Amino acid sequence: MGYLSLFSGIEAATVTWHPLGWTPAGFAEIEPFPSAVLEHHYPDVPNLGSVTDITEAMILKLGPIDLVVFGSPCQDLSEAGKRKGFDGERSGLFFAAIQIIRWARKYYK
């Protein structure tokens, strides 16, 4: 099973799924520390960077993707936050993730 992880962090999904034989096709992380952790543990897996910079061609280059996993930032949805909803800068990244899923489905149904 191949998957793409968006908003990867230090990649808990891969730690969990590795014993099942699932393999990451790629990550998407922009923060320096988590990116360094990913590079250290998974040097052969590309980090595509920001979900807003990922292109359809980048998704095609990854090969078959059976699953896209993500937990997009939710600060703008939080009662404790500014309550901008999906119009907020962070929570609005959800829509970029959905576009990436559409591209993955388009090529690998």
Question: Which residues are catalytic, by number?
Answer: 74
What's the whole-number mean pLDDT along residues 26-52?
Answer: 97
Q: Is 5 exposed, middle or buried (0-12, 13-18, 19+ CB in 10 A)?
A: buried
Say whether pLDDT at 17 is over 80.
yes
In a 3-state reduction of DSSP, which class is residue 80?
A: coil
**Which stretch, 20-29, 79-88, 93-102, has highest mean pLDDT?**
20-29
Q: CB neighbours (10 Å) of residue 57?
A: 8
The domain total for the chain is 1
Is the model more confident about 99 or about 71? 99
Say whether pLDDT at 91 is over 70.
no
Domain range holding 101? 2-107
